[in-house]
């Protein structure tokens, strides 16, 4: 495969992966606009209905760590198709839910399927494309990651107003059926490798499957309660952190851990991982601020607010088109640094936001902000994949996905607490606008933190590129060609 274009097989695979990723990421935000309606229709208090969103996130966090082992032991194609079926079935069951308890249970089933689709899809694409096309192929995955949080409230508001809350879930069914049908035809066959996978690391699975959801739950409660002093916040956070730390110690000693944390000895992977974590916080955390500004300060409804967020999606889509090509030419590190710079510069005017600023100006800033996000997250991940072997990619993918999701939870929790504190004493729209401006200064700090690991990534990636000899490049291409022949056979 040449570095100038993706082969038809990779593009075909990318279509299936993107369909699965769209459903998974979209459902992290599409339900948020319907929580009040669900509380009324299902006759349940809002604190119980909140578990419709939280339960999905916790299921995602619990299942992601096991995806690498399952893909190796049972084959990525088989596991990916099973995940699509679980997600699609869970969506149909959610639409048929008769009370809040059944809806939460079916959302957990959705989360189990959705948690596997994105990392396994990334894994298959990274292996099929090879390091020379990593930028472009990761741009495909970046489309749903960046666009879904923006489009989710728009689509959710429209479906809620036009058809009812059941269609927020039913919309996934035809997409899921299409993805499964295309997957059966287009996903590459790869034989399960039980010997390489080894026995399941049960101890590691228990530690992570309990620790990670507890930590994410604590962060979600911090965003809701607004203080670390509440036992509902510090209790899960502390216990989750202890379990995760225990897993790390276990993984360093185990022969075949659930996740190979030794990958962090690779400086490029470590830098990309920290960058991904910070940018996850910048992306998903700031997603909270803009819609609340339009609703609380400007008085817009859910659907109008969603439409006003669309410019950020336009900027992200444009960035995805361009960033992959630049990543393949100059590396993911420099592109990620440029994206972070654009993200930071476009945040400064938002920190000075007022109660009656022009929607045209705000839309232009959101386009720039979307462009900055689109040219930073996926190039950083591409740089990590480009320096890893196919076997290491299996372990790297779920780790990067977990870091991005946890980073998003951290960013959301921090900015929720800041915004709640600032809004507490606001009595006028001008004071409320100032509260949002102060919160944007914090969002700027979250974005700038990502600059340090991104600069490290530039340096490490430059050394790695300079150190690759012609013979190594030829050997790498020969190995990839041989692997594709074996997979085709």
With a CB cutoff of 8 Å and minimum separation 6, the contacts of 467 are: none
Asked if residue 478 has pLDDT above 60, the reply is no
Torsions phi, psi of 197, nearest 5? Answer: -65, -40
* Boundary of a domain, candidates 171, 193, 215: 193
Residues 272 and 406 in one domain: yes
**Burial class of residue 198 in the structure, from the number of CB atoms within 10 Å of its CB (0-12 exposed, 13-18 middle, 19+ buried):** middle
* pLDDT of 360 above 90: yes
Helix (H, G, I), strand (E, B) or coil at 482: helix
Are residue 419 and residue 458 in the same domain, yes or no? yes
How far apart, in whole angstroms, are the C-alpha atoms of residue 134 and residue 126?
Answer: 7
**% of the chain exceeding 90 in pLDDT:** 14
Q: Which of 257, 275, 296 is the last residue of a domain?
A: 257
Residues 97-105, mean pLDDT to the nearest whole number: 91
pLDDT classification of 469: cutoffs 50, 70, 90:
very low
Token pair of 4, please? 């100038």
Cβ count within 10 A of residue 26: 23
For residues 387 and 468, give the distance between their C-alpha atoms in angstroms, rounded to a whole number.
Answer: 11
Mean pLDDT of 325-346: 85
**251 & 389 share domain:** no
Pair 18, 84 in one domain: yes
3-state SS, one letter per residue, for 310-336? HHHHHHHHHHHHHHHHHHHHHCHHHHH
Identify the band that residue 466 occupies on the pLDDT scale cut at 50, 70 and 90: low
Is 438 found in the same domain as 385? yes
**Rounded to 5 degrees, what angle do the CA atoms 137, 143, 149 make?**
150
Same domain, 272 and 248: no
Give every CB contact of residue 118 below 8 A, 6+ residues apart in sequence.
20, 21, 24, 25, 141, 145, 401
Q: What is the mean pLDDT of residues 165-175?
A: 90
In this structure, the answer to whether residues 10 and 129 fall within a common structural domain is yes
Better-scored residue on pLDDT, 440 or 321? 440
The answer to whether residues 251 and 277 belong to one domain is no
CA–CA distance, 68 with 394 (Å, rounded to integer)? 5
159 and 243 share a domain?
Answer: no
Looking up residue 442, the CATH number of its domain turns out to be 1.20.1250.20
Q: What is the pLDDT of residues 428-448, one digit of tens each?
A: 889 989 999 998 998 888 888
* Residue 53 Cα to chain centre, angstroms: 15
Beta carbons of 402 and 212 less than 8 angstroms apart: yes
pLDDT band at residue 71, thresholds of 50, 70 and 90? confident
Select from 213, 239, 257 the last residue of a domain.
257
Considering the domain architecture, whether residues 307 and 252 belong to the same structural domain is answered as no
Closest CA to 270 of 407, 399, 429, 163: 399
Share the mean pLDDT of the chain: 80
Phi, psi of 190, rounded to the nearest 5 degrees: -135, 125
Extract the tokens encoding 127: 């292996």
Cα 145 to its chain centre, rounded Å, is 5
Q: How far apart are CA 416 and CA 29, in angstroms?
A: 16
Q: Is the model's pTM score more than 0.75?
A: no
What confidence score (pLDDT) does residue 348 get? Answer: 92
Of the ranges 181-195, 202-216, 233-247, the best mean pLDDT one = 233-247
DSSP class of 33: G
Q: Give the structural domain span for 452.
A: 262-489
Per the CB < 8 A criterion, the answer to whether 126 and 197 are in contact is no
Count how many domains the chain has.
Answer: 3
Helix (H, G, I), strand (E, B) or coil at 13: helix
Residue 465's pLDDT band (boundaries 50, 70, 90)?
Answer: low
Task: Report the pLDDT averaged over residues 137-158.
Answer: 69
- For residues 283 and 373, is the Cβ–Cβ distance under 8 A? yes
pLDDT of residue 434: 92
What are the tens digits of pLDDT across the range 363-388? 999 999 888 887 887 787 777 776 67
One domain, residues 286 and 408: yes
Q: How far is CA 266 from the centre of its chain?
A: 22
Residues 140, 213 share a domain: no
pLDDT of 72 > 70? The answer is: yes
Cβ 356 vs Cβ 474: under 8 Å:
no
Instruction: Say which range, 18-32, 175-189, 197-211, has the weakest mean pLDDT.
Output: 18-32
Asked whether 349 and 163 are in contact (CB, 8 A), the reply is no
Q: What residues contact residue 35 under an 8 Å CB cut-off, 6+ apart?
A: 46, 49, 50, 52, 53
pLDDT digits (tens, 9 = 90+) for 12-70: 777 788 788 778 777 777 776 677 788 888 888 766 777 887 788 778 778 888 888 88
Pick from 196-210, 310-324, 461-475 the range whose average pLDDT is largest.
Answer: 196-210
- H helices, E strands: number in the chain: 23, 0
């Amino acid at each position: 495969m040449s570095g100038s274009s993706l082969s038809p097989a990779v593009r075909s695979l990318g279509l299936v992966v993107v369909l699965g990723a769209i459903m998974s990421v979209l459902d992290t935000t599409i339900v948020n606009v319907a929580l009040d309606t669900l509380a009324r229709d299902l006759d349940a208090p809002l604190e119980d209905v909140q578990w419709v969103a939280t339960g999905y996130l916790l299921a995602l966090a619990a299942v992601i760590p096991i995806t690498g082992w399952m893909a190796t032991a049972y084959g990525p194609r088989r596991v990916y198709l099973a995940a699509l079926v679980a997600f699609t079935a869970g969506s149909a069951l959610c639409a048929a839910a008769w009370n809040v308890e059944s809806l939460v249970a079916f959302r957990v089933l959705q989360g189990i399927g959705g948690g596997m689709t994105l990392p396994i899809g990334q894994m298959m694409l990274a292996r099929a494309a090879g390091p020379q096309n990593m930028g472009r192929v990761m741009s495909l995955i970046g489309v749903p990651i960046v666009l879904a949080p923006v489009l989710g409230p728009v689509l959710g508001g429209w479906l809620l107003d036009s058809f009812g809350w059941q269609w927020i879930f039913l919309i996934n069914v035809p997409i899921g059926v299409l993805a499964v049908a295309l997957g059966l035809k287009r996903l590459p066959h790869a034989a399960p490798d039980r010997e390489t996978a080894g026995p399941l690391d049960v101890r590691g699975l228990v530690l992570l499957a309990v620790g990670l959801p507890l930590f994410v739950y604590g962060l979600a409660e911090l965003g809701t309660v607004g203080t670390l002093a509440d036992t509902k916040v510090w209790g899960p956070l502390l216990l989750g952190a202890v379990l995760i730390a225990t897993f790390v110690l276990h993984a360093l000693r185990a022969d075949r851990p659930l996740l190979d944390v030794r990958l962090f000895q690779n400086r490029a992977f470590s830098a990309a991982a920290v960058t991904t974590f910070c940018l996850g916080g910048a992306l998903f955390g700031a997603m909270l601020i803009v819609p609340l500004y339009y609703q609380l300060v400007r008085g817009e409804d859910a659907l109008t607010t969603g439409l006003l967020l669309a410019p950020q999606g336009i900027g992200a889509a444009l960035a995805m088109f361009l960033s992959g090509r630049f990543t393949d030419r100059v590396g993911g590190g420099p592109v990620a640094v440029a994206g972070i710079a654009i993200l930071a510069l476009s945040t400064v005017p938002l920190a000075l936001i007022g109660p009656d600023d022009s929607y045209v100006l705000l839309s232009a800033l959101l386009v720039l902000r979307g462009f900055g996000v689109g040219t930073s997250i996926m190039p950083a991940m591409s740089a990590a994949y480009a320096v890893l072997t196919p076997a290491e990619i299996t372990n790297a993918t779920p780790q990067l996905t977990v870091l991005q999701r946890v980073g998003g939870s951290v960013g959301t929790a921090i900015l929720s607490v800041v915004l709640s504190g600032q809004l507490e004493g606001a009595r006028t729209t001008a004071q409320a606008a100032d509260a949002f401006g102060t919160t944007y200064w914090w969002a700027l700090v979250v974005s700038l933190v990502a600059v340090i690991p991104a600069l490290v990534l530039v340096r490490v990636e430059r050394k790695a590129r300079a150190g690759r000899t012609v013979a190594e490049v030829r050997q790498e291409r020969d190995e990839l060609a041989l692997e594709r022949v074996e997979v085709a056979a």
